[in-house]
Structure 1
Amino acid sequence: MSHENQEKPVSNSKSVIRLPIIISITLAAGMLLGSTFFSGGKKLTDVAKGYAKFREVLLLVENNYVDSVNTEELVDYSISKMLEKLDPHTAYFNTEEATAARSQLDSGFDGIGVEFNIYNDTVYVVTPLSGGPSEAVGIQSGDRILKVNKEVLSAPGVTNGQVYKLLRGKRGTKVTLTIERLGLKDNMNFEVVRNRIPTYSVDAAYMVDKEIGYIKVSRFSETTFDEFKSALSTLKADGLKKLVLDLRGNPGGYMERATSIADEFISGDKLLVYTEGKDSRFDRKTRSHVEGGFEQGAVIVLVDEGSASASEILAGALQDHDRALIVGRRSYGKGLVQMPIKLSDGAELRLTISRYYTPSGRSIQKPYEMGKGEDYNQDLTHRYDSGEFFNADSIKFDKTKAYKTDGGRTVYGGGGIMPDVFVPRDTLMNSKYLFELYAKNIIREYALRYANDNSKRLEKQTFDEYLKTFEVSDAMISELVKDATKSGIKLNEKELNRSKPIVQSQTKAIIGRYVWGRKHKNGLNNEVYEVLNPMDNVYQNALKLFSKASELENGNFSSLNTKKIDK
C-alpha cells in the first residue's frame, strides 16, 4: 500500500538514513551554520585547499572531458561518496529527495489524498483519505486511475515515484483523473482540487479493557505531541489506569516531540536527555517541567529492533527514571544527532553534530567504524543470524558500559535500549505462500472487494460487535486462494494451513478498517490494531506484565533488572 506520503519501513540497509532522523536543533539554527561553523584557525586553510582542488577537477571535467557530462549529477555523487567516509547517519539529499524527506515530518502535504496500490502495472485506489479532496468528489476504493491530466498512468513499469509526481502539487491546483470503475462500462473523469492532506503519527488509541489503554506512535512528526495528548485525554475519560505505549518500528523524528511525551509521564524537574558534541554550542539538556497527563499509573513501553533515535530517547528516559517497564527486543541503537542544513539550491545536508545520552549517562549508539557503513547497515542481519531475535541469552552486553537507573537497576549503553523483559520474534505462522500473498496484495485486494460488496450488511452492526462475532470463513479463504491462483501464486496447502490465522486476521482487519475506520477524522486505525494485536505475542505478553510494571512504579525493584531478561 502506498499513498502520496508513503513512508519506507525500517530496514537493514542504508535506507534507514532516508527515514526521518532526530532533529535537536531547529532549521533556523541550521541556517546560521554557514556563517559560523568554519570560523578561523588552521583548519579553514585546509578546507580552502580542498575546495580549490575539487573546483579545479570539476572545471577540467566540464571543459575538457571527451563526452558531455551532467555536472550537477557529478557534484551530488561526489558529495554522497565523500560523506560515506564519515558516520553512517550523516547524509546528503538532492533537491527532490530533500523535499520528499521533509514532508515526512511536516504536518501534512499537498495532494489529492488517496492511498493506492500498484498491482499488475495498474494503479488502484485503496481508499480516499478521510477528509481529503478525492473523498469529497466521490473517488471510491477499487477505482483504477488510468490517466492524470491526460498523461497515461497505468502502464507497464509504472512506479510509486511517477504516481507521487503526478498526484502531488500545490494546494488549489486542479488535476483531472480518468477513472475506470467496476460495474461501469465507460470511464469517468474527476476534477480534483489539490489541498492540504494531514498526516498522522498516532496510529491507534483504544481501551483494551476497563483499565488498560493502548497507544501506538509510528513516528515523531510535527503533530505527534498534540495527537498523543488528545489520545491520552480520550483514554483517561474512558477510565485509563494502565498504559501500553507501542514504539515498535518507530524510526524517530523530532526529538522535542519525544521529550514532550516523556514529560507527560515523568514528574518534577528531571533530566530527560542531553547532547554533547565537539562544539559546545550544540550541547543542550532537556528536563521535565510540566505537570504531565499520566504521571501516575503503570506504564509498559514496547520496543524492537525497528525503534530508533527519538523512540530510544523516550524509552531511555522512562527506563532510567524507573517510570516504565520496557518490553520486547533490543532497539536499533541510533544515538547521533543530525542538524538539517538547507543548501542554496534546496538540497539538504544532515550533518552529525553531537551524541545524545539518556539521563543515566548512556549513549545508545551502536558501534561503528568511520567509513565502514556497509557493515554497520548489516547490523540487524547480524542480530538475526546470531539468534538475538529469538533468544535473550544471545544479546551481547558491553559490561564496561553499565549504568544505574534512579532506583539502582543496572542498564547498559552502547547498543540500543535493552528491554527489561525480552519477548522473541514470532515466526511460527510465516510461510513463503504468505509472503507471496503479501507481495501481490492478494489479501488486501480481496478484503476491500468483500467490504465493498458487503458494507451495507456489515454497517448494521457496531465495530465492537463485528470484532467479537465476525469470522473469516473457509469459503472466504477459498475465494482468496482463487484470486492468488489467478495471479500466478501456486497453492501450497501445508503453508496455507500454517499461515491461515494470519490470513484470516489480516483480512478481518482490512474489512474492519474500510467499513468503520474510514469514518474517523483523527487518523486512528484502531480497527486494524484491535483485530491484529491479539495475534501479536509481544502485545499479549505485555498485558500479562502489569504486576511487574506496578512494582516498578511503586519502587519495588527486587524482581526487575535488565540483566535478568525473561524469555
Structure 2
Amino acid sequence: MKENQDIKNSPIIVKLPILISLTLAGGILVGATFFGGHNKMAGVTKGFNKYREVLSLVETSYVDSVNTDTLVDYSIKKMLEKLDPHTSYFSADEAALAKAPLEAGFDGIGIEFNVFNDTVYIVSALPNGPSSSAGIKSGDKIIKVNGASLTGPKVTNAFIYSKLRGQRGSEVKLDILPYGEKTLKTFNVTRDRIPSYSVSAGYMIDNQTGYIKIDRFSETTYDEFKNTLSDLKNANMKRLVLDLRGNPGGYKDRAEKIVDELLGGEKLIVYTDGKGTQYDSQTFTKRDGIFEKGALTLIVDEGSASAAEIVAGALQDNDRALIVGRRSFGKGLVQMPVNLSDGSELRLTISRYYTPSGRSIQKPYTLGKEDEYEKDYDQRSKSGEFYSADSIKFNEKLKYRTVGGRTVYGGGGITPDVFIPRDTTMFTKYLYELLGKNIIREYALDYANDNRKALEKMTFKDFNKLFVITDAMLSDMQKLARRSDVKLRENDFNRSKPYIKTQIKAYIARNIWQNKGKNGLNNEYFQVMAQMDETLQKSLTYIDKAEKMARGELVETISHNSRKQ
C-alpha cells in the first residue's frame, strides 16, 4: 500500500465493545478469546455479573410478569447506541429480514404485487414461476391466502410476505379474482426458489454508450454485472455510464470484483484499518477485466453508501472514472456479522474503509449521538449542498492526491468530480400523493391489460418513439385518483404533468415488455424514464471529460474550482 507521505489522515480509534448476550437460564459471554486477553476481560466480567444480578432480580422479584427476552434485546440495543452509528443488534426475525435483500433469492410464489386501496394486485407473474405456471396473470387480485383475508387496512408488505413466502415445496391456496372477472377462482400454488436481482438495468443509450444500474451489492451482483457488461461490450460499447445512485452497499467483495473488471493493472482498490492488525486488509486488482479501457462515468448521490463508495473511491483515486452527481452518504465503517446462539445477530464495527489515496469514507460522528448523525441529510439540504456546487466546502487539512495527481478531499463520502444538482421542480404534493397511493402504477397496469393485444403488436423501440400519453388518459388517471381520495391540485398537476406522463408510459412499457428472458433487467422502464432523469442527461454531456480521463489526461473537477475553507 502506497500512501501520500505529505498528506494523510490520522485514523480515529474506536474501542470495540464486548457483547454480553443473556438467556433465561443464565449468561453466555461471547468473545473472550476472540477480542482480547485476560486483562481486558476483567472489566467485562464485572459488568456481566452486575447485569446478570439485576436481570435475575427482575425475573424473580419484580411485581409484574416480564418478558426477559424483550428486556435483553432492549438493553443490548441501548448499550450499542453508545457506540458508532452502524454497530447494531438484530433479533432473530430482524436478522432474517435484514439478510433477505442480499441473498440470491427466496422461497415464494413468484409474483410482483402492488397494494392499491387496501387490495393486493398482481403486477407481474415471473415467467415459468409457480404463479405463472398455475395460470395467474397481471391485474389479478389476491383476495385470500390459505383462508386468511388479504384485503383491508391491515394489509402491509410485511403481512403479505408472511403469507406468500414459505418453505420451498410447500403449497399455498390462493383465492384470486381474475382481471376483468367477477367470480373468485382458487389456485393451489407450490412455492419454489425465486431469484432476486440487483442489476436493474443494462442497455445501450446510443451506438457507443452503455448504461448499467446496480441497486445493491448482493450475492449475485458480480455475476449479473459481468454478464450485462459482456453483453454491452459485444454490442460495441465504447463508453459506459455506471449508476450507483441510491445503492446502500452490501457485500464488499462483490464491489471489489466489479472494480477489477473496470480497472487494469495491479492497483489498490481499498484498505481497512482497525484496532491492532487483526482486521487490517488491502485489496488489489488481479485479473484482466472486461472494460479496463474506454470512457467510464460513475453516478453517485447522497443515497450511495458503503460498498458503493468503495467502487466510487477506487475508480476516482485511480483516475479511472469521472464521478458525477452529489456527495455520497459517507458510510465507511466495516461491520462484522456475529451470529448468536438464539439466531439473533450482532453487526460489530471492527475497522474503517479507506480509499487508495488514504481518504476515510466515513463521515464525522459523535459517539452516542445517533440523532445528530441521522440529521446529516437535512443539514445537507439546508446548507444548499444538494442544489449548488458553491455550497460544497472542502477541508484543506484533508487533502489527498489521486494516482494522476488530481486533488481530492476527505471528510466523509465521495465528492464527485462534476456536481449535478437535484431537480425537484416537478415533485409536488399532488405527485407525492399519487405515488404514495400507487395511483400512477395502478392506472398504467389497467391500461396495459386493457390494451395488451394492440401494444404487443408494437416493438418497444416504436412504442418508446411514437406512443403518446393523451389528455384523455390523464383525465382517466385523475378519476382513479379521486376515487382514492386524492384531490386534484391544478397548479401541482401542471408542474408535475411531464413527470406523470413519462411515468405512466414507463410503467406501461414495463408491464408489456419486462421479463422476456432478460434476467431481471427492467430496461424498458429505465429507458422511458431516462428522458426525465436530469442527472443522467447532464452526465452524458460530460462524456468528453470521461474520455480525456480514459486517455490519461488530467481533467478539471470541482475540487479545483470550488471555494475552500
**Under TM normalisation by the shorter chain, which class is it?**
over 0.9
Give SS of 1:280's match: coil
Which of the numbers 106, 111, 121 marks the counterpart of 1:109? 106
Q: Which residue of 2 aligns with 1:468?
A: 465
Identity in percent: 59
Within the alignment, does 1:400 sit opposite 2:397 as a pair?
yes
Q: How does 1:119-134 map to 2 (within 5 A)?
A: 119-134=116-131
Q: Which residue of 2 aligns with 1:436?
A: 433
Q: Which residue of 2 aligns with 1:336?
A: 333
Q: Which residue of 2 aligns with 1:19?
A: none
Residue identity matched to 2:155: V
Determine if contact 2:123/2:511 at 8 Å carries over to the other structure. Answer: no
Structure 2, unpaired ranges of 5+: 1-28
- Distance in 1 (alpha carbons) for counterparts of 2:33 and 2:264: 38
Determine if contact 1:33/1:341 at 8 Å carries over to the other structure. Answer: no
- Distance in 2 (alpha carbons) for counterparts of 1:471 and 1:562: 43
Q: Which residue of 2 aligns with 1:64?
A: 61
Give SS of 2:560's match: coil
Determine if contact 2:218/2:251 at 8 Å carries over to the other structure. Answer: yes
Which of the numbers 290, 300, 304 marks the counterpart of 2:301? 304
Within the alignment, does 1:192 sit opposite 2:182 as a pair?
no
Q: 1:525 to 1:104 in 2, by over 3 A?
A: same
Q: Which residue of 2 aligns with 1:80?
A: 77
Which of the numbers 263, 276, 279 marks the counterpart of 1:279? 276
- Distance in 2 (alpha carbons) for counterparts of 1:131 and 1:370: 51
- Distance in 2 (alpha carbons) for counterparts of 1:501 and 1:156: 32
Cα offsets for 1:36-76 (capped at 9, x unmatched): 32332322011111111111111111111111111111111
Q: CA deviation at 1:197?
A: 0.7
Q: 1:184 to 1:559 in 2, by over 3 A?
A: closer
Q: 1:61 to 1:415 in 2, by over 3 A?
A: same
Determine if contact 1:145/1:178 at 8 Å carries over to the other structure. Answer: yes
Within the alignment, does 1:147 sit opposite 2:129 as a pair?
no
Give SS of 1:548's match: helix
Between stretches 205-214 and 545-554, larger displacement belongs to 545-554
- Distance in 1 (alpha carbons) for counterparts of 2:288 and 2:540: 27
Q: CA deviation at 1:395?
A: 1.6
Between stretches 129-138 and 321-330, larger displacement belongs to 129-138
Q: Which residue of 2 aligns with 1:11?
A: none
Determine if contact 1:422/1:565 at 8 Å carries over to the other structure. Answer: no
Q: How does 1:20-31 map to 2 (within 5 A)?
A: none
Residue identity matched to 2:214: V
Q: CA deviation at 1:169?
A: 0.7
Which of the numbers 314, 317, 322 marks the counterpart of 2:314? 317
Between stretches 292-301 and 162-171, larger displacement belongs to 162-171
Residue identity matched to 1:257: R
Within the alignment, does 1:355 sit opposite 2:352 as a pair?
yes
Which of the numbers 522, 545, 559 marks the counterpart of 2:542? 545
- Distance in 1 (alpha carbons) for counterparts of 2:535 and 2:561: 18
Within the alignment, does 1:250 sit opposite 2:247 as a pair?
yes
- Distance in 2 (alpha carbons) for counterparts of 1:469 and 1:449: 20
Q: CA deviation at 1:457?
A: 0.3
Residue identity matched to 1:532: M
Q: Which residue of 1 aligns with 2:446?
A: 449
- Distance in 1 (alpha carbons) for counterparts of 2:38 and 2:311: 39
Q: How does 1:470-549 map to 2 (within 5 A)?
A: 470-549=467-546
Cα offsets for 1:359-405 (capped at 9, x unmatched): 00010110000000011011011101111100111122222111000
- Distance in 1 (alpha carbons) for counterparts of 2:276 and 2:126: 45
Give SS of 2:35's match: coil
Give SS of 1:498's match: helix
- Distance in 2 (alpha carbons) for counterparts of 1:337 and 1:130: 38
- Distance in 2 (alpha carbons) for counterparts of 1:50 and 1:39: 16
Q: Which residue of 2 aligns with 1:10?
A: none
- Distance in 2 (alpha carbons) for counterparts of 1:319 and 1:252: 17
- Distance in 1 (alpha carbons) for counterparts of 2:48 and 2:127: 50
How many residues are matched? 535
Give SS of 1:374's match: helix
- Distance in 1 (alpha carbons) for counterparts of 2:482 and 2:90: 42
Within the alignment, does 1:385 sit opposite 2:373 as a pair?
no
TM-score under structure 2 normalisation? Answer: 0.93
Determine if contact 2:549/2:555 at 8 Å carries over to the other structure. Answer: no
Determine if contact 1:419/1:565 at 8 Å carries over to the other structure. Answer: no
Q: CA deviation at 1:494?
A: 1.4
Q: Which residue of 2 aligns with 1:427?
A: 424
Q: CA deviation at 1:316?
A: 0.4
Determine if contact 1:420/1:565 at 8 Å carries over to the other structure. Answer: no
Q: CA deviation at 1:35?
A: 6.0
Cα offsets for 1:401-443 (capped at 9, x unmatched): 1100011100011210000000000011111111111111110
Which of the numbers 183, 206, 209 marks the counterpart of 2:206? 209
TM-score under structure 1 normalisation? Answer: 0.92
Determine if contact 1:131/1:521 at 8 Å carries over to the other structure. Answer: no
Give SS of 1:518's match: coil
Q: 1:322 to 1:33 in 2, by over 3 A?
A: farther
Q: CA deviation at 1:560?
A: 3.7
- Distance in 2 (alpha carbons) for counterparts of 1:560 and 1:370: 34
- Distance in 2 (alpha carbons) for counterparts of 1:529 and 1:199: 18
Q: Which residue of 1 aligns with 2:9?
A: none
Within the alignment, does 1:410 sit opposite 2:396 as a pair?
no
Cα offsets for 1:438-497 (capped at 9, x unmatched): 111110000000000011101111101101101111110010011111111111111111
Q: Which residue of 1 aligns with 2:370?
A: 373
Residue identity matched to 1:204: A
Q: CA deviation at 1:152?
A: 1.9
Residue identity matched to 2:420: V
Between stretches 134-143 and 543-552, larger displacement belongs to 134-143
Q: Which residue of 2 aligns with 1:21?
A: none
Q: 1:561 to 1:521 in 2, by over 3 A?
A: closer
- Distance in 2 (alpha carbons) for counterparts of 1:565 and 1:107: 43
Residue identity matched to 1:485: R
